[in-house]
Amino acid sequence: MAKALGHSHVRQQGGTHKPVAWTKRMSDHIAAALLIYTVLHIMVTMQAIKGEGGSILPYFGLVLLVGAIIPGCRIFEKRWERLAAGGQSDERLRSLFIRDALYLWVAAIGLPFAVTGVIMALGTLA
């Protein structure tokens, strides 16, 4: 887990030290978080649909938010391409990586529940 969060800023490979590819590491986190987000969103929405009669709002929320998260992930990935090319120190990139990975995973796990809850609340108002 420490390695995944960037606690080791230099990897050892075959006796030589190789700098961490922060962009690739963040890209891997983004890909995994996108998968988890999508699966959770589908599971939570389908559970909400079971409890509802015939409302179309949960389906709309599912399609909208699974489609909307992809451009957001791409923007996040481009940010890391700029950060890595910016010549910042590994220590600074490591602290940014830990913070951004935390934000990413909180959003990937929390958004499906929050959004489905809001959509279901709107469905009861309609």
pLDDT(32) > 80: yes
Query: How many CB atoms are located within 10 Å of the residue 53 CB?
Result: 6
Domain that holds residue 96: 21-125
18's enclosing H/E stretch is: strand 16-19
pLDDT(58) > 80: no
- Residue 15 located in a structural domain: no
- Residue 101 located in a structural domain: yes
Stronger pLDDT, 116 or 55, i.e. the higher one: 116
- Residue 73 located in a structural domain: yes
Kindly state the average pLDDT of the residues 49-54.
65
The pairs formed by 39-43 with CB atoms below 8 angstroms and a separation of 24 or more are 40/108, 40/109, 40/112, 40/113, 41/65, 41/66, 41/111, 41/112, 41/115, 41/116, 42/66, 43/112
pLDDT confidence bin for 14, thresholds 50/70/90: low
pLDDT for position 124: 81
- In the chain, how many domains are there? 1
11's enclosing H/E stretch is: strand 10-13
pLDDT confidence bin for 17, thresholds 50/70/90: low
Which amino acid makes up residue 2? A
Structure pTM? 0.76
CA angle 40, 82, 76 (to 5 degrees): 15
pLDDT confidence bin for 81, thresholds 50/70/90: very high
Please tell me the distance from the alpha carbon of residue 55 to that of residue 61, in angstroms, as a whole number: 11
- Residue 40 located in a structural domain: yes
pLDDT(56) > 80: no
